[in-house]
Amino acid sequence: MKRATLICFLLFISVFAFAQKNWVKQKLTNRVTVSFPTAPSKTAGTTFAIKDTTNTVYTVTYSFIAQNLKIDEKAFSKLVTTEEFASEFQNSLHATLSGYNLEPIKIKQNKNYVSYITEGKNEDEKKSIFMHIIFVDGIYYSLSVVIPEGKSFNNKDIFLHNFQITK
């Protein structure tokens, strides 16, 4: 049993490592870099995206949210850890992604940043969305993957967690 578990673990690690080998790093700001399965296109001033051969869409966008809300970065860093702010943020996601039934945001506190995790379905269009929103220095970075029903979820977690934050 232990040998089978070890083999499964090593197989998982090798698949994960292979999947990331040819990914393209896209520098968003001086602090954050995200890896895409292939080179993304800049679709707007602060948005990068690709659509793969399965019609899965990978998108990253960022916004200077603390500056736009006219809130000090330090105060904003505390604000994003609250359920109230997460709820308001989710309301804005619902307005933007009106066709999706989103799950409540899960707040993750990391050493250097706070992140929100959510996902949802659009029953009419038969698509699922998975989001990882990261708050760094008053900027939010929204990584999202939209996957058509019946298509592979293989690269979803790799994309949503394959980012680098530098000092």
Instruction: Assign residue 66 a region (left: φ > 0; alpha: ψ between -120 and 50; beta: otherwise).
Output: alpha
Domain of 77: which CATH number? 3.40.1000.10
1 has pLDDT over 80: no
Whether the Cβ atoms of residue 28 and residue 161 lie closer than 8 Å to each other: no
Q: What is the pLDDT of residue 9?
A: 41
**pLDDT grade, residue 44 (50/70/90)?**
confident
4 has pLDDT over 90: no
Q: What is the pLDDT of residue 131?
A: 98
The three-state secondary structure class of 166 is coil
Q: What is the pLDDT of residue 20?
A: 52
Q: What is the pLDDT of residues 80-124, one digit of tens each?
A: 999 999 999 999 999 999 899 999 999 999 888 999 999 999 999
* Arithmetic mean of pLDDT, 48-66: 96
Q: What is the pLDDT of residue 8?
A: 38
Q: Is residue 57 part of a domain?
A: yes
Q: Is residue 70 part of a domain?
A: yes
Q: Is residue 12 part of a domain?
A: no
The three-state secondary structure class of 152 is coil
Q: Is residue 117 part of a domain?
A: yes
Quote the CA–CA distance of 23 and 35 in Å, as a whole number: 6
Whether the Cβ atoms of residue 105 and residue 86 lie closer than 8 Å to each other: yes
- The number of domains in the chain is 1
Whether the Cβ atoms of residue 80 and residue 69 lie closer than 8 Å to each other: no
- Please state, in angstroms and as integers, the Cα–Cα distance from residue 48 to each residue in 10, 11, 12, 24, following that order: 33, 32, 29, 12
The pLDDT mean for the chain works out to 88
Q: Is residue 1 part of a domain?
A: no
At which residue do the structure tokens 């800049």 appear? 42
Share of the chain above pLDDT 90, in %: 79
Give the residue numbers spanning the domain of 135.
Answer: 23-165
Q: Is residue 18 part of a domain?
A: no
Q: Is residue 5 part of a domain?
A: no
